């Protein structure tokens, strides 16, 4: 049985879904275009000076893309919040910022209405994973300026579930809180869930005996990689669901109980997939998103930099929303070219995570004779390190067709991440 948040919208036939999006978009354009300086500048360059100039999807397709560097530059030019503001600053009630893993953090303001919209979007995520009022959802996360888990936390409460904050605690205290408070679900990054599993093992705590049955994995791809999901589910004795969102965009992607890739919430977002080189439509390419429920600071036709592939078949859950096979496949600009072979770091992670002896890893990339070379640093806990490293190296050679060097490193020597793991490092030389 499928658990929906808004069954009517989630199962709209394609034409009705497009009509729903258009109605939302037209309303948004009327609200935004007269008073938002950032949007007005961008649209004017495309010959659109008022909402009524947008007559249909062909006009929409002529609007320029938005890129992250434009938003960053706009904030630098108009500190501290930039000029993508439809209303006076006094109308905004929350400020957050991006995690800053890929450069200067971007600040973002939300009105009360936009914050309610965030909670609604999280409703689709949590219900998609089968969570209901009565669930107790634990968020092992240090709540700060980063928006993601705030919205998830408040979304859990809005859904009628019990939201349990895990800020200001170390991993051991979080494990104790999980048990004492009877958490039935956990929402964190896949990296942190694996780290907690390692801490539990070291402390002799059997996670599978706790009451956690559902995990929603936010903040980075991972649950969409089959071997990572298998490991999460094995360690926790729970089902792991992928989720995707961005501070500047919103919580747009969620997984249903069929666990068949990310659904894009097309009732609240418009999704396009483009060839990153030409900008033309594609089945596999860069994800371009527009949000429909945040008129105070909308982001339209945003090039996310994430590589995705649209599924051809409908999902067995009955949703008509776009489904992205394998979730986020990688960053468009993270693709490595190793001796002429294109490799995404997620493909390497997919192999490494099949080896239970590996607790953490780092992918080092360096240039040699104008080519990318890859070294895998593998942190392992038992005495089989050399054999396991050799086995990983061999699996990469057989499955991806590339030669990499796999090197064991001592326990606890690699960084751990509560948010957005950075496991790819480019070095100038070997």
* Rounded-to-integer distance, Cα 296 and Cα 149, Å: 21
Residue 123 CB, shortest distance to Zn ion, in Å, is: 16
Dihedral angle at the C-alpha atoms of 122, 123, 124, 126, nearest 10 degrees? 80
* CB nearer Zn ion, residue 318 or residue 410: 318
Residue 49 CB, shortest distance to Zn ion, in Å, is: 40
Residue 175 CB, shortest distance to Zn ion, in Å, is: 32
* Rounded-to-integer distance, Cα 2 and Cα 171, Å: 34
The answer to whether the beta carbons of residues 82 and 115 sit under 8 Å apart is no
Residue with tokens 């990153």: 276
* CB nearer Zn ion, residue 129 or residue 406: 129
Q: Report phi then psi at 420, rounded to 5.
A: 45, 80
Task: Reduce the DSSP state of residue 348 to 3 states and report it.
Answer: helix
* CB nearer Zn ion, residue 317 or residue 347: 317
Task: Reduce the DSSP state of residue 217 to 3 states and report it.
Answer: strand
Residue 242 CB, shortest distance to Zn ion, in Å, is: 12
Residues β-bridged to residue 323: 263
DSSP string covering 388-430: HHHHHHHHHHHHH----EEEEE-TT-S---SSS---EEEES--
* Rounded-to-integer distance, Cα 118 and Cα 288, Å: 19
Edge-to-edge strand order for the sheet containing 302-309? 269-274, 284-291, 302-309, 330-331
**CA distances to 22, 140, 149, 177 from 165, in Å:** 38, 7, 10, 10
Residue 267 CB, shortest distance to Zn ion, in Å, is: 14
First to last CA, the chain: 53
* CB nearer Zn ion, residue 2 or residue 83: 2
* CB nearer Zn ion, residue 216 or residue 404: 216
* CB nearer Zn ion, residue 315 or residue 391: 315
Q: What is the widest separation between alpha-carbon atoms in the chain?
A: 69
* CB nearer Zn ion, residue 245 or residue 408: 245
**CA distances to 32, 170, 340 from 329, in Å:** 33, 31, 19
* CB nearer Zn ion, residue 51 or residue 258: 258
**CA distances to 45, 71, 82, 106, 371 from 76, in Å:** 21, 9, 7, 10, 36
Residue 97 CB, shortest distance to Zn ion, in Å, is: 32
Nearest residue to 179 via CA among 199, 135, 217, 209: 209
Residue 322 CB, shortest distance to Zn ion, in Å, is: 11
* CB nearer Zn ion, residue 256 or residue 332: 256
Residue 324 CB, shortest distance to Zn ion, in Å, is: 11
Which residues contact Zn ion (rule: CB under 5 A)?
Answer: 256, 258, 315, 317, 319
Residue 2 CB, shortest distance to Zn ion, in Å, is: 8
Q: Residue 113, Cα to own-chain centre: how many angstroms?
A: 23
Helix (H) or strand (E) holding 176: helix 171-180
Cα dihedral sign, 388-393-396-398:
negative
* CB nearer Zn ion, residue 38 or residue 122: 122
The encoded tokens of residue 320 equal: 């008509």
Residue 314 CB, shortest distance to Zn ion, in Å, is: 9
Residue 24 CB, shortest distance to Zn ion, in Å, is: 22
Q: What is the DSSP letter of 163?
A: E
* CB nearer Zn ion, residue 121 or residue 348: 121
Residues ≥6 apart with Cβ < 8 Å to 375: 363, 364, 365, 366, 404, 405, 406, 407, 430
């Amino acid at each position: 049985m499928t658990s929906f948040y808004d069954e009517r919208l989630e199962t709209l036939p394609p034409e009705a879904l497009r009509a729903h999006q258009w109605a939302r978009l037209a309303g948004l354009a009327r609200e935004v275009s007269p008073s938002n300086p950032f949007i007005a500048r961008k649209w004017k360059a495309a010959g659109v000076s008022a909402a009524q100039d947008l007559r249909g999807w062909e006009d929409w397709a002529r609007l320029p893309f938005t890129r992250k560097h434009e938003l960053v530059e706009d904030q630098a030019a108009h500190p501290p919040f930039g000029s993508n503001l439809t209303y006076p600053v006094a109308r905004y009630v929350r400020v957050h910022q991006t995690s800053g893993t890929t450069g200067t953090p971007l600040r973002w303001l939300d009105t009360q209405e936009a914050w309610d919209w965030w909670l609604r979007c999280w409703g689709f995520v949590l219900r998609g994973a089968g969570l209901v009022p009565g669930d107790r959802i634990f968020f092992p996360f240090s709540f700060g300026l980063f928006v993601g888990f705030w919205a998830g936390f408040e979304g859990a409460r809005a859904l009628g579930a019990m939201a349990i904050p895990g800020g200001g605690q170390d991993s051991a205290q979080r494990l104790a809180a999980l048990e004492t408070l009877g958490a039935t679900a956990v929402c964190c990054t896949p990296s942190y869930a694996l780290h907690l599993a390692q801490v539990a093992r070291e402390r002799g705590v059997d996670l599978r005996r706790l009451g956690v049955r559902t995990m929603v994995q936010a903040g980075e791809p991972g649950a969409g990689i089959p071997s990572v999901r298998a490991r999460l589910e094995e360690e926790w004795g729970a089902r792991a669901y992928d989720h995707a969102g961005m501070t500047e965009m919103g919580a747009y992607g969620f997984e249903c109980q069929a666990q068949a890739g990310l659904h894009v919430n097309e009732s609240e977002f418009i999704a396009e997939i483009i060839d990153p080189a030409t900008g033309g439509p594609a089945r596999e390419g860069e994800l371009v998103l527009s949000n429909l429920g945040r008129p105070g600071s909308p982001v339209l036709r945003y090039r996310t930099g994430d590589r995705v592939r649209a599924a051809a078949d409908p999902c067995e859950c009955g949703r008509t929303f776009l489904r992205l096979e394998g979730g986020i496949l990688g960053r468009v600009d993270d693709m490595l070219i190793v001796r002429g072979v294109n490799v995404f770091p997620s493909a390497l992670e997919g192999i490494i995570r099949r080896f239970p002896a590996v607790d953490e890893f780092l992918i080092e990339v360096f240039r040699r004779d104008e080519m990318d070379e890859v070294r895998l640093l593998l942190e392992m806990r038992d005495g089989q390190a050399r054999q396991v490293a050799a086995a990983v190296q061999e699996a990469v050679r057989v499955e991806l067709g590339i030669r990499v060097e796999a090197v064991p490193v001592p326990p606890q020597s690699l960084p751990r991440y509560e948010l957005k793991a950075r496991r790819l490092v480019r070095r100038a030389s070997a």
